[in-house]
Amino acid sequence: MIDLRGALGALALGVLAIVGSVSPSAAGVAARVAIHVDEDSPDKMNMALSNAQNIENYYEERGEEVAIEMVTNGAGIAMLREDISPVKDRIERMSEKMPNLTFSVCANSIETIKRRDGVDVPLMSQAKVVPSGVVHLMELQSEGYSYLRP
């Protein structure tokens, strides 16, 4: 006869192990959020930056850490361009105060602009290049990041 309590206990432990392995707190942070910006819109980017600040404030008041990554692709990479970003000063200020805020730029989008417009795409020092913005968003979500698109 099968020991039902033992089997259920083993199943519960297995589920807890799986759930615990993708928990944001496993990496020492209370939450993780990926904020997606794909429009050349100062209004959208300012909303995304305000969302990031509000998230930071919420967790800071609770004495907890949060990881925030802003991922740009398509027309949204203009927001992280050194030469044309209308929100450059705000990004620089926020980056100084929020070391947990990172910015990623899609390499595919950079290459598209270079081919289409024949220009270099200088990026702000805060930006790191990822091979594909959408794939990076998928990877972040599989790592337990929540997805936010203002």
Q: Categorize the per-residue pLDDT at 80 as very low, low, confident or very high, splitting at 50, 70 and 90.
A: very high
- Over residues 25-37, the mean pLDDT reads 86
In a domain, 66, yes or no: yes
In a domain, 16, yes or no: no
Q: What is the pLDDT of residues 93-137, one digit of tens each?
A: 999 999 999 999 999 999 999 999 999 999 999 999 999 999 999
The domain of 58 spans 30-148
DSSP 33: E
Q: How many domains does the chain have?
A: 1
In a domain, 65, yes or no: yes
* The two structure tokens encoding residue 112: 């598209």
In a domain, 7, yes or no: no
Q: At a CB cut-off of 8 Å and minimum separation 6, what does 11 contact?
A: none
CATH of the domain at 77: 3.40.1260.10
In a domain, 125, yes or no: yes
Instruction: Report which secondary-structure segment, H or E, holds 67.
Output: strand 66-72
In a domain, 129, yes or no: yes
Quick check: 15 pLDDT over 50? no
pTM, rounded to two decimals: 0.82
In a domain, 22, yes or no: no
- For residue 13, the model assigns a pLDDT of 46
In a domain, 77, yes or no: yes
Residue with tokens 């089997």: 7
- For residue 147, the model assigns a pLDDT of 99
Long-range Cβ contact pairs of 110-115 (< 8 A, separation 24 or more)? 110/77, 113/77
